[in-house]
Chain A
Amino acid sequence: MIRARKLGKRFGDKRVLRAVDLDVPDGAFAVVTGPNGSGKTTLLRLCAGLALPSDGQLEVGVPRARIGYLAHEPLVYRELTALENLELYGRLYRVPERRERIGMLLERFGLWEARHERVGSYSRGMTQRLALCRVLLHEPELLVLDEPYTALDAAGAGLLDVQLAELHRERTLLVSTHDPDRVDSLATTRLALA
């Protein structure tokens, strides 16, 4: 699914990723770890197609329509409601039976009751749950998740554990985390950036 050889990324004179080799086969659960500034986010942005490599080769075996990317930011509009945000993404991703899918995800992530509230009034944890709904909305083949446990409370993190275990059965995942123990039982590929 993902194959990187001597992958590098520079921003001006600053090199943020150096000669990374990565193989993520179909159905794998790849975990990327490393300290702050080691290039985890940059690597995930490259794999999601949001940045271009400066050096090396990167092949991602799915079109961008089949990638679900969870960033540090939720990538939703604060002035819109959860429902409006998901409607927008659902239209852009041409999700079939959009309303049903959105309703199902909002219920699953405990946001159904708050679906008509503006995202700006959500707590950080609720916003992260909404971001997960956005990522899963179009049933992507490849999930690229940048520190998905950020801001989630115990209940939210538990819910995400269950979701990741379910998703791992039928999808490929590339997950960066500061807490590798949390996903250790699921991980099939590991990459530690220095």
Chain B
Amino acid sequence: MNYVADVRALARKDLLLELRARDTLPAMLLFVVATFVVFHFSLPAHSSRLAASGLLWVAIVFTALLGLGRAFVPEREQRVLDGLVLAPCDRSAIWVAKAIATLAFLSAAEVVALPVFALFFHGLRGATVAGMLLADVGICAVGTFLGAMAVATRARDLLLPLLFLPLAIPIVVGGVGASVVAAPGRYLGFLALYDVLFGVLCWASFEYVVTE
């Protein structure tokens, strides 16, 4: 129960910080909507569903990257991560809470982004939304983990995309697959497997990321 209480307290803090600073969510919203507008005018008319789905997933991955890049900024600015690491709670609770907060921001951005996408392109299938829900979990789990690694380095702004994008390739493959095929079950299962596998790996390894 302590673990859940720690995660709740830390996630609440992250949401409160965003509510006060409004650094992350507006930037994510602006980026994803602007991307769809740009592609709406740059893609040829009557472009295929496959091309539009690819665009949707690329936009979502880069929007997530924007949020992930800012995830540990409050901790970095005041070195607060030292204070959290010293606390007697399980250190993985820091990762879980940060991933939950990032998931909330990404989901909020998608609540606006998906209708815009449906308006500009080919509408939305249920499988696309289901795939996105599963993909969001994987993106936030892996991205938050890598964000914590990158924040300790000088080249953090460069390092996060370099580490994250290769690991996001399976998510894009699964997401696009779920969006375009007639029977998306296999792709959704693939995304769920990715979430479980990388979620457990990140959860178990986070301690080593935040300690020397």
Interface of A toward B, CB cutoff 8 Å? 48-52, 63-65, 67, 69, 71, 73-80, 84, 88-89, 91-94, 118, 134
Q: B6-21: which have CB < 8 Å to A?
A: 6, 9-10, 13, 16-17, 20-21
B50 to chain A, nearest CB (A): 43
- Interface size band for B: 20 to 34
Would B9 and A75 count as touching, CB distance under 8 A?
A: no
Give complex CA distance A74, B211 in Å: 19
Residue A77 contacts which of B78, B85, B89 (CB distance < 8 angstroms)? B78
Select from chain A the residue with minimum beta-carbon distance to B84.
A92
Query: In the complex, what distance in Å separates the CA atom of A74 from the CA atom of B84?
Result: 12
Contact: B86 with A50, CB < 8 Å? yes
Check if A74 sits within 8 Å of B78, measured CB to CB: yes
With A79-B20, A88-B10 known, 16 other A-B pairs at CB within 8 A are: A52-B211, A67-B86, A69-B82, A76-B78, A77-B13, A77-B74, A79-B21, A80-B16, A80-B20, A84-B16, A88-B9, A91-B9, A92-B9, A92-B84, A92-B87, A118-B20
Main secondary structure of the interface of B (DSSP, over half): helix
Name the residue on A nearest B17 (C-beta). A79
What residues of A have a CB within 8 angstroms of the CB of B79 in the complex? 71, 73, 75
**B6 engages A91 (CB within 8 Å):** yes
Contact B88 A93 (CB under 8 A): yes
Task: Indicate which residue in A52, A75, A79, A92 contacts B212 across the interface (CB closer than 8 Å).
Answer: A52
B87's partner among A48, A78, A93 (CB-CB below 8 A) is A93
The list of the 7 closest CB pairs from A to B, nearest first, reads A65-B88, A75-B83, A92-B87, A79-B20, A91-B9, A73-B79, A52-B212
User: Which B residues are CB-close (under 8 A) to A69?
Assistant: 82-83, 86
- Please give, as numbers and ranges, the residues of chain A lying within 8 Å of B87 by CB-CB distance: 65, 89, 92-93
Cβ–Cβ contact A78 & B78, under 8 A: yes
How near does chain B come to A170, taking the closest CB pair, in angstroms? 20
Contacts of B80 in A (CB 8 A): 73, 75-77
Shortest Cβ gap from B20 to chain A (Å) = 4
Q: Once the chains are docked, how many angstroms separate the CA of A21 from the CA of B21? A: 46
Q: What residues on B are CB-neighbors of A73 within 8 Å?
A: 78-80, 82
- Chain B residues near A79: list those with CB within 8 A: 16-17, 20-21, 74
Given contacts A84-B16, A88-B9, contact A76 B86 (CB under 8 A): no
A93 to B211, CA, bound (A): 18
What B residues does A67 contact at CB under 8 A?
A: 86
Nearest-Cβ distance from residue A29 to partner chain B, whole angstroms: 21
Contacts of A64 in B (CB 8 A): 86, 88
Give the contacts of B119-169 with A (CB-CB under 8 A). none
Q: Say whether B5 faces chain A, with CB atoms less than 8 Å apart.
A: yes
20 A-B residue pairs with CB within 8 Å: A50-B212, A63-B88, A64-B88, A65-B87, A69-B83, A69-B86, A71-B79, A73-B78, A75-B80, A75-B83, A77-B74, A77-B80, A78-B77, A79-B17, A79-B20, A91-B9, A92-B10, A92-B87, A94-B2, A94-B88
